[in-house]
Structure 1
Amino acid sequence: MVIKSSLPDVVIPDIDVASFVLKKMKKWEKKKAIIDIGNNCREYSFNEVRENSMKCGSAFYRMGLRKGDVVATCLTNCAEFVFIAIGANACGGILAPVNPICTEDEMYQILNQVKPKFIFANSFNFEMLKNVSKKLSCVEDLICVEEGFEGKTFTEFIATGDAKDFPTDIEISSEDLAMILFTSGTTGLPKAVRKTHKNVLATLTLGRVGKFGLDVDDVSYLFIPLFHITSAIGSLLMLIQGATVVMKKNFDFMEMLQEIPKFKVTNLNVVPKIVLGLNQLPSESGFDFSSLRQLVCGGEPLSLSVANSVIEKYKIGIAQVWGMTEGMPASIQSDVNYGVGSVGKLISNTKLKVVDIVTGKELGPNEDGELCLKAPQFTNGYLNNPEATAKAIDSEGWLHTGDIGHYDDNEFIYIVDRLKSLITYYGSQVSPSELEGVLLRHPLIDDVGVIGIPDIDAGYFPKAYVVKKDPWLTEKEIHEFLKDKVADFKLLRGGITFIKAIPKSSTGKTLHRELKELEKK
């Protein structure tokens, strides 16, 4: 049985992303658009955001960026990301945001998939990206967004552009690619998700549906990394509604508590662990949250008791959203007391069906199976990966999410398990299978299973259950082995436990759920 959103369908504009965003921002002119905390709290008006974006577009075009060329941003959160995104899209270019703290090997593997013509870097990863660029014949320029650093800087780059020469005659179809976003690599190498202009415009349109949209009086605190769909497209979503975006370079919970009153923040996109942290603050903590209007929470279901406690404590609204790199939003729950424990109801223009994970048969209400979605905000596949595309999107165009759940008689959606068992560490997602693959290269490890250990600040710490080949193998040896092979956020901060055997399914797959149960004992 297929269910459809009870909300009326909305028209998705047939226009390119850059034209749409620039037009929407034009009406607010001198109003404050971005506050870049990492750049000495530099402020940009909407006029300045538009002008810098158009200069970027002009500079890109003068330097040879053409339709279908890729621009990779390997950046921490900063205002320049917005200018680059709009400028690249205006030329028909494709934006590819990448986690800036990837190791050199990881960065090469990711960038080699998309073949960027331009790469934007921070000062801390510039040298590493220079090494990567030498291995990629496609790269024509590497640009650092920070000043006082060897090589071309963003200031020098944008100075080659002129808003008057902004390209306006590029023929861009709604089916042309606008972005490539990377999954977290649950089966090894992260997959490159194709996002057309139509996909992005659908997110920008549907993200404003309902009472949890923003307006010109809102100030949104953006700390989720810009290589995530939540921020990569979400930053544009905030700006087209006239809201002020506070860009936070590196997340710190205590700094966030201080910066909410400093910038009079009204809106926070969060994960449940942050809501829990707010709930656990003592009433006499002294932090002023009087400006805060709403929390939009995603990533996993939020405890009803915690949600209601925070609502009562701070007199704010909380919405839960469901989505994924392949497309968002899929659903939104605007009142936590209805459809308790659910991720809400379908957003406009969106259809859902639940299928049996073995037979593929369509299921009805209250029957658990794999959740499948069809909507204009969802990808049409993975870049240069027809096999993965065929596994994820069936012949009728349904995206198989990998989430297990059901909808009830009132069409509230519930997620009860995940086929893709990711670990989220301070906003960065760690693939258990990737870590397991690296650890199995150790000559003294016979088998391994990786799970996430909850932490109030980080979200989860990766932890490994290891079966030894040699009884003398130590935890220290494993930590040392892993240290230079993966990015820092993937290290086993949750620890290592030695066991006799890793629990397996009948087909030989690691049963991470049983490892999690073992951890609770």
Structure 2
Amino acid sequence: MKRIVTLERSLPFQTLIMDKRIEEILDYSLLIAQAYLLIRLKISKNSYFKTPFFYFFILTGYLSVIGFILCVRIPIPEDRAWLYKFGYLINVFGVMGSTIGKMYIATHRFAVLRSVHLLENMWSIRLTAGLTGILIFFSCARCISVFFCDYAFVIRDGKKYVVMFDDQCNVADKSQSSVMYSIFIIVSVTLTILSSRQYYKIQRKADVKLDAIDGISTKSILVQQQKKMFIIVSVCTISHLIKAVHQFCWVFAAVFHLSAFNTRLQATVGSNLVHEILIEHVQYVYPHYLATYSASITLVIFFPRIRRLLISRRDVMNRSPAGDDQYSITRTPLYFAAVDLFEMPSTPIAQNKDLLEKWRSTLNNEVLKSPCANIPIPEETLIARILNSLEHHSSKYPGKAAVIEAANEDRSLTYQQVHDRALSFAAFLASRGFRIGDRLTAALPNSIEWPVMHVGTWTAGGAVVGSSAAFKLYETVYQLRDSSSSFVVVSEQLLDTFIEAAKECSTVKTIICVRSSDRPLPDGVIDFEETIKIQPLKELPPVTLDTVCMIYYSSGTTGQPKGIIHTHRTFHCAVEMLRSHWLHEIYPVLGADEVDLYKESQIVNSACYHILGFAQLNWYLITGSPMILVKAFEGKLYLDLVEKYKPRYLIVAPPIFTYLAKDAKGKMASLSSVQMIVCSTAPLSKELSDEFLTSHQNVKYIVQGYGMTEMCFSHLPLLLDVGVNASCGVIVDIDSLPPAKQGQRGEVCVRGAAQTIGYLNKTEATKELIDDDGWIHTGDIGYIDDRGLLYVVDRLKELIKVNYMNQSLQVPPAELEGILISHHRIRDAAIVGIPDASHGELVRAFVVKSDENLTEKEVENLVADKLAEFKRITGGVVFVDAIPRSPAGKILRRVLRKINGA
């Protein structure tokens, strides 16, 4: 029945719509969650513009406005009351639709483009999704209830006009809901103030500090993106503030202009309602708005922790290892943090010719910085991100294989299996007394046990120590002692060696064997399969960014091999550099959609106990790319894998590249999907590259990676018109150590957030590696040309790089020299590498005898009995009267190479 409502309460209607205040609370909570999410996910126009959901978002927004106008601004007579209902319905539908659109923009799109941020804020995603679902339910309930409710009318000039549904006369209930609205205003005002402060802080730093250092990426990218984000946040917040001010003015008029207000209300709905309106608004609304702005200022001034939660307060550049924040040209880090509002440019650098030209115009600077945009330093541990990734992938791709063994594809694990088994392995370690800071040595070939073992070790708070499958007893004992490993996971083929080594290492408590046969295990050795059958670990230890996650050993150029320490912070940065660079610089140039990053299988050739293979393992666990783990390279098997899985790019060592260029020349079909090949671990000759490109027309790019275990990856490829490496570092004059000029040869030095924190148990060696300004001295000699390309032409540190079983491995001369000199029949010795077309380099020994009866064969056996096969003396033994040395006592290897044609 249609009637004029004065003070009557419409309880049936409010019951029918399931209490409108609950819906309003959810609406405000959703807006708060979205505000936080949009800030953290660095949303901008480029991320969702011209997508179907963007247009859906705009359309439903317009519908909500049209509905509001019909309900509020246009007088609707009694005979057309259905228009009011229609306007109300499309307003509700518009609000609901725009909410769904914003939900999609803030979550689904960024699940593809920014998987790191999705995973970092998974709780926000879930909260937003949950609130959206509940809000849709209540909105649908409200739409249904509209068909059963009456109208409230006012009489003007003898005609009845619809003004509201009858529940809206319940002013007290409507006023009380302003508490939740006030909470939302507090958050909005706080975000506005913090966004303003953060934006202007970045702008000042850019103007003062970064013009001379970075020149391009800060002012044209960082500040520009900051400004976009600031405008978006400000416009949204100001619109809410205008509405709040409007309501505040209405209350002000009601309180201070009672007479005029009273007269106007009496002419419409009656005098009794006037007093209730005034009482309720003075009692509830007015104090709420006074408290709103006071609380906002309090949040900004007195609660820095909450302020950091809303918008991360990070410096534009990461601090140096010494902890200071003084920046200069000679101290520019290679990898520095942008604030959380940072957005990567939408166009790959290789396709942005203007930016490349501007970058090349800055090459007179003594420090070379990449033109690539800066990447925010991850704020969570690597293990937390991997566990979140595994949960995400297992829910999104149930049953999809995460890791597959190339030699036996029946041996595979899904993302859920990796997650569950890793937590079970962590529980086993914890039950055996494994604690944060403990170390586990892994001596395994590439297999499905690797991700289970290393994720489980990290979950338990420990560090993984990589051990080569080629090591013999002497090398194994040294590494176990130096690393103080308490647990060992070893393949069955290496079990006997590690049992013997454990007898000489008091720290080793438990040996776990990955079996490949039914042979009974010795007493005290635990089957790996038994460790993953127990209940998963429930309470995870408090792993932090500074917890050590890995110790991988260098080949060693001075003395014994050194344990290189990486934390969850440094190695996470390295993995994120790979992920982000491929997403923003490689895939777009190859014409791949971002979704391909999650679908395309990748072949992992490098051993997981090497830095490259281990980085790939973690990289693909995060992105969700299925991994094909190659235990040992076999040409036919490798080509079959490439033909079956059709990857767009391959990451290989020079021996595999040589095979593809020469032996696989007639098998074009196998490589038809490959557009890019990245060759790493050793130099690749231009002649071989040209030969490959001639025979494989579909391969457009051959690029070369440059890095070291201490730095992980200092250079990543830009796909320019020629295959070159993206560069970032400084060339230092070898003799005097000032930064070298363009074209001048010097030592390559690099610095960044992905660098090691130092060598294990070797303070002096760490000081030699990292100088006072935080630069890592690579020991490589190089120069930079006028295009900004880095060329490595020689080595200060004389590692010998040999090709062994289709891998490029490093032989440290000092290790062999130590063994030779320790023998009583040898007075002095030196090791050099000599070029060889098939083996890369051959190991040649120069020996000064103490015993004239010493033979060449005996010298070769001294090394063969103690070291891995690839470290054997293969280039012969030359007996000399003396080893040439510098005044400082260093071996002059350049002189030795001239002897006997070496």
* TM-score scaled by length of structure 1: 0.90
Q: Tell me the SS of whatever aligns to 1:493.
A: coil
| One-letter code aligned to 2:788 | E
Q: Which residue, out of 695, 706, 720, partners 1:313? A: 695
Displacement of 1:198 in angstroms is 0.7
- Check the 8 A contact 1:320/1:334 in 2, yes or no: no
Q: Quick one: distance in 2 between partners of 1:519 and 1:166? A: 65
| One-letter code aligned to 1:192 | G
Q: Which residue, out of 650, 659, 683, partners 1:277? A: 659
Is 1:47 equivalent to 2:416 in the alignment? yes
Aligned to 2:547: 176
Is 1:75 equivalent to 2:449 in the alignment? no
Alpha-carbon distance change, 3 to 289 in structure 1, aligned in 2, over 3 angstroms = closer
Q: Which residue, out of 72, 80, 94, partners 2:463? A: 94
- Check the 8 A contact 1:450/1:462 in 2, yes or no: yes
Alpha-carbon distance change, 262 to 498 in structure 1, aligned in 2, over 3 angstroms = farther
Q: Quick one: distance in 1 between partners of 2:386 and 2:637? A: 31
Matches within 5 A, 1:128-207: 128-147=497-516, 148=518, 149-150=520-521, 151-160=525-534, 162-163=535-536, 165-168=537-540, 170-207=541-578
- Check the 8 A contact 1:68/1:93 in 2, yes or no: yes
Aligned to 1:345: 727
Is 1:486 equivalent to 2:857 in the alignment? no
1:15-37 CA distance string (max 9 Å, x none):
11111112223224432221113
| One-letter code aligned to 1:512 | R
Aligned to 2:713: 329
Is 1:476 equivalent to 2:863 in the alignment? no
- Check the 8 A contact 1:343/1:415 in 2, yes or no: no
Q: Tell me the SS of whatever aligns to 1:345.
A: coil
Q: Quick one: distance in 2 between partners of 1:398 and 1:483? A: 37
| One-letter code aligned to 1:13 | P
- Check the 8 A contact 2:819/2:862 in 1, yes or no: no
Displacement of 1:500 in angstroms is 5.2
| One-letter code aligned to 2:369 | K
- Check the 8 A contact 2:732/2:747 in 1, yes or no: yes
| One-letter code aligned to 2:762 | N
Q: Which residue, out of 478, 486, 493, partners 1:124? A: 493
Aligned to 2:829: 448
Q: Quick one: distance in 1 between partners of 2:727 and 2:853? A: 53
Aligned to 1:7: 372
Q: Tell me the SS of whatever aligns to 1:329.
A: coil
Aligned to 2:817: 436
Displacement of 1:141 in angstroms is 1.0
Q: Tell me the SS of whatever aligns to 2:702.
A: strand
Q: Tell me the SS of whatever aligns to 2:766.
A: helix
Alpha-carbon distance change, 408 to 132 in structure 1, aligned in 2, over 3 angstroms = same
Displacement of 1:246 in angstroms is 1.6
- Check the 8 A contact 1:118/1:141 in 2, yes or no: yes
Larger RCO: Structure 1 or Structure 2 (Cα < 8 Å, ≥ 6 residues apart)? 1
1:31-52 CA distance string (max 9 Å, x none):
2221113566512222222222
Q: Quick one: distance in 2 between partners of 1:188 and 1:29? A: 50
| One-letter code aligned to 1:33 | A
- Check the 8 A contact 1:462/1:493 in 2, yes or no: yes
Alpha-carbon distance change, 334 to 520 in structure 1, aligned in 2, over 3 angstroms = farther
Q: As a proportion of its length, which structure holds more helix?
A: 2
Q: Quick one: distance in 1 between partners of 2:455 and 2:712? A: 20
1:132-162 CA distance string (max 9 Å, x none):
22333322210001153403111011112x3
Q: May I ask how many residue pairs the two structures share in their alignment? A: 511
Aligned to 1:300: 682
Q: Which residue, out of 503, 510, 518, partners 2:891? A: 510
| One-letter code aligned to 2:428 | A
Q: Tell me the SS of whatever aligns to 2:476.
A: helix
Q: Tell me the SS of whatever aligns to 1:124.
A: helix
| One-letter code aligned to 2:811 | V
1:39-70 CA distance string (max 9 Å, x none):
66512222222222222223222332211111
What is the RMSD of the two structures over their aligned residues, measured on CA atoms?
Answer: 2.6
| One-letter code aligned to 2:795 | R
Is 1:212 equivalent to 2:578 in the alignment? no
| One-letter code aligned to 1:124 | Q
| One-letter code aligned to 2:372 | L
Alpha-carbon distance change, 452 to 212 in structure 1, aligned in 2, over 3 angstroms = farther
1:376-418 CA distance string (max 9 Å, x none):
1101211222111111112221111111222233332221211
Q: Tell me the SS of whatever aligns to 1:212.
A: helix
Displacement of 1:499 in angstroms is 4.7
Q: Tell me the SS of whatever aligns to 2:801.
A: strand
Q: Quick one: distance in 1 between partners of 2:733 and 2:434? A: 46
Comparing 305-314 with 498-507, greater Cα deviation is found at 498-507
Q: Quick one: distance in 1 between partners of 2:900 and 2:676? A: 34
- Check the 8 A contact 1:70/1:96 in 2, yes or no: yes
Q: Quick one: distance in 2 between partners of 1:258 and 1:446? A: 52
Comparing 266-275 with 147-156, greater Cα deviation is found at 266-275
Is 1:370 equivalent to 2:747 in the alignment? yes
- Check the 8 A contact 2:560/2:814 in 1, yes or no: no
Q: Quick one: distance in 1 between partners of 2:692 and 2:572? A: 33
Aligned to 2:619: 237
Q: As a proportion of its length, which structure holds more strand?
A: 1
Q: Which residue, out of 68, 80, 85, partners 2:454? A: 85
Q: Quick one: distance in 2 between partners of 1:301 and 1:417? A: 11
Comparing 286-295 with 377-386, greater Cα deviation is found at 286-295
Matches within 5 A, 1:380-391: 380-391=757-768
- Check the 8 A contact 1:355/1:369 in 2, yes or no: yes
Aligned to 1:115: 484
- Specify every segment of 5 or more residues in structure 2 that has no aligned partner in the other structure, as ranges: 1-365, 588-595
Q: Quick one: distance in 2 between partners of 1:336 and 1:467? A: 51
Displacement of 1:269 in angstroms is 2.0
Alpha-carbon distance change, 490 to 484 in structure 1, aligned in 2, over 3 angstroms = same
Q: Quick one: distance in 2 between partners of 1:499 and 1:254? A: 45
Matches within 5 A, 1:399-410: 399-410=776-787
- Check the 8 A contact 2:434/2:462 in 1, yes or no: yes
Alpha-carbon distance change, 510 to 55 in structure 1, aligned in 2, over 3 angstroms = same
- Check the 8 A contact 1:115/1:139 in 2, yes or no: yes
Q: Quick one: distance in 1 between partners of 2:438 and 2:758? A: 18
Displacement of 1:356 in angstroms is 2.1
Displacement of 1:200 in angstroms is 1.1
Is 1:23 equivalent to 2:394 in the alignment? no
Q: Tell me the SS of whatever aligns to 1:142.
A: strand
Comparing 210-219 with 382-391, greater Cα deviation is found at 210-219
Larger Rg: 2
| One-letter code aligned to 1:396 | D
Displacement of 1:471 in angstroms is 5.1
Q: Tell me the SS of whatever aligns to 1:216.
A: helix
Alpha-carbon distance change, 274 to 282 in structure 1, aligned in 2, over 3 angstroms = closer
Alpha-carbon distance change, 494 to 268 in structure 1, aligned in 2, over 3 angstroms = farther
1:154-200 CA distance string (max 9 Å, x none):
1011112x33x3444x2222122111111112112111111011111
